[in-house]
Amino acid sequence: MSELSINDDRLWQTLMELAKIGATPKGGLCRLALTDLDRQGRDLFVSWCEAAGCTVTVDEVGNIFARRPGRNPDRPAVCTGSHLDTQPTGGRFDGIYGVLAGLEVIRSFNDHGIETDAPIDLIVWTNEEGARFSPPMLGSGVAMGVFTLDHVLDIRDNDGLRLGDELARIGYKGTVPVTGHAMGAYFEAHIEQGPVLETEGFQIGVVTGAQGQRWYEATVTGRESHAGPTPMRMRRDALAGAAVMMEAVEAIALEVGGDACSTIGRIRAEPDSRNVIPGKVWFTIDLRNPDAEALARMDAMLRERLAAIADTRGLGLELTDFWAFPTTPFAPDLVGRVRESAVRRGLSHRDIVSGAGHDAVYVARKVPTAMIFIPCEGGLSHNEAENVHPDHASAGCAVLADAILATAL
């Protein structure tokens, strides 16, 4: 059993204190990126970090870096973190747990008088969720060179508000160059956001990598006409055709099997009238698979089958690529440190692949990276009922502390 202990009660109390900002009546959170509530959450986080002796800086896209100094300031920092923004009906732990587990690691090192050779940086990434400004993972994406800073600052939300302007408005448009932060390693603790760990009775998920994702936008074009006088045989119903396409999207994942997933998340029909046959339908498609070849096969199936449905029904189809990232393996040595900690502490654990995207996926493109999962009740996430057991939160934080310490000494 490791001698390093964390303050379980302090971790939980910190989680519950931050959960008051943006709390919803159903017990969840609505704290969208770069809103006033996001500013309040960031301000509270910064105050906690400064009280723990950290120096806080903010980069040009609003990413926050709280540094606990090491004996050797020339060593690249050992980093940990996640995000504080939520979905509109999000939970209290998605992303937030990773940030506050990192804070508890720093506080616990302070309690025990532990010095590290490398600095430790606790990071809050901007706009991980993508709920307000899309696509997701924008702060880490800019930092890792996936997106340009100018492009991201010019992204607008559904109300036409510009990301860069909102950053400045809430006081988090920093001046530190966004790509100039030296990172030697990165660990991210997170709730699983799925049911595997809880169902199988494991306390810790040792995340070996993340599955690939491809997002698309589909626009189906038919012909608007009156719902009564237009015979069925003479219709070019965009919504009816889109519905068949959506069934095909689901069938692709079922046919490929394994861990393949396909999802239709948003739908918009025009002219959106009860008695008009829809002339245009727009919808989103999300394909995921941990196997790169299988994901490529799903992509080919999608393009072929949707085109065939459109052709059969006399409809136009525009299928555009919106966002994607490949299957991402994590650094074996860092993954090993997570596994070794779980073994040493006597925690039940299993290897697992992340089904969701995380900032760690982008960071892993340039920095050795690993993740730690803890179970969430019922596998629920992106849901106001999202919950974790305090014992699981403590166990994941202790493993995070061990992995950081082993890397930073």
Is residue 309 pLDDT above 60, yes or no?
Answer: yes
Nearest CA to 302 out of 314, 280, 284 is that of 284
Is residue 2 pLDDT above 60, yes or no?
Answer: no
Is residue 235 pLDDT above 70, yes or no?
Answer: yes
Confidence of residue 179 (pLDDT cuts 50, 70, 90): confident
Assess whether 310 and 404 both reside in one domain. Answer: no
User: Residue 111: what pLDDT?
Assistant: 97
Question: Which of 288, 306, 325 finishes a domain?
Answer: 325
Residue range 342-350: mean pLDDT, rounded: 98
Q: Is residue 108 part of a domain?
A: yes
CATH number at residue 169: 3.40.630.10
Assess whether 202 and 113 both reside in one domain. Answer: yes
Q: Is residue 315 part of a domain?
A: yes
**Residue 250 is part of which domain span?**
213-325
Assess whether 131 and 261 both reside in one domain. Answer: no
Q: Is residue 203 part of a domain?
A: yes
Per-residue pLDDT tens for 108-119?
A: 999 999 999 999
Mean pLDDT lowest among 212-221, 331-340, 353-362:
353-362
H, E, C per residue of the chain: CCCCCCCHHHHHHHHHHHCCCCECCCCCECCCCCCHHHHHHHHHHHHHHHHCCCEEEEECCCCEEEEECCCCCCCCEEEEEECCCCCCCECCCCCHHHHHHHHHHHHHHHHHCCCCCCCEEEEECCCCCCCCCCCCCHHHHHHCCCCCHHHHHCCECCCCCEHHHHHHHCCCCCCECCCCCCEEEEEEEEECCCCHHHHHCCCEEEEEEECEEEEEEEEEECCCEECCCCCHHHCCCHHHHHHHHHHHHHHHHHHHCCCCEEECCCEEEECCCCCEECCEEEEEEEEEECCHHHHHHHHHHHHHHHHHHHHHHCCEEEEEEEEEECCEECCHHHHHHHHHHHHHCCCCEEEEEECCCCHHHHHCCCCCEEEEEECCHHHCCCCCCCCCCHHHHHHHHHHHHHHHHHHHC
Per-residue pLDDT tens for 316-331?
A: 999 999 988 889 999 9
Per-residue pLDDT tens for 139-173?
A: 999 999 999 999 999 999 999 999 999 999 999 99
Assess whether 113 and 15 both reside in one domain. Answer: yes
Assess whether 171 and 71 both reside in one domain. Answer: yes
User: Residue 114: what pLDDT?
Assistant: 97
- What is the model's pTM? 0.86
Q: What's the chain's average pLDDT? A: 97
Assess whether 258 and 343 both reside in one domain. Answer: no
Assess whether 108 and 247 both reside in one domain. Answer: no
- Which residue in the block uniquely carries the two structure tokens 């719902």? 227
Query: What percentage of the chain exceeds 90 in pLDDT?
Result: 96
Q: Is residue 204 part of a domain?
A: yes
Q: Is residue 3 part of a domain?
A: no
Is residue 277 pLDDT above 80, yes or no?
Answer: yes
Question: Which of 291, 325, 359 finishes a domain?
Answer: 325
User: Residue 325: what pLDDT?
Assistant: 84
User: Which tokens belong to 330?
Assistant: 């994590």
Q: Is residue 387 part of a domain?
A: yes
Q: Is residue 2 part of a domain?
A: no
Assess whether 73 and 57 both reside in one domain. Answer: yes
User: Residue 20: what pLDDT?
Assistant: 98
Q: Is residue 60 part of a domain?
A: yes
Per-residue pLDDT tens for 44-98?
A: 999 999 999 999 999 999 999 999 999 999 999 999 999 999 999 999 999 999 9
Is residue 1 pLDDT above 80, yes or no?
Answer: no
Question: Which of 325, 350, 367 finishes a domain?
Answer: 325
Assess whether 266 and 319 both reside in one domain. Answer: yes
Assess whether 17 and 109 both reside in one domain. Answer: yes
Counted domains in the chain: 2
Per-residue pLDDT tens for 213-222?
A: 999 999 999 9
User: Residue 380: what pLDDT?
Assistant: 95
CATH number at residue 282: 3.30.70.360
Assess whether 89 and 197 both reside in one domain. Answer: yes
User: Residue 252: what pLDDT?
Assistant: 98
User: Residue 355: what pLDDT?
Assistant: 85
Mean pLDDT lowest among 322-326, 384-388, 392-396:
322-326
Assess whether 122 and 197 both reside in one domain. Answer: yes
Mean pLDDT lowest among 25-29, 173-177, 179-183, 405-409:
179-183
Residue range 371-387: mean pLDDT, rounded: 97
User: Residue 180: what pLDDT?
Assistant: 79
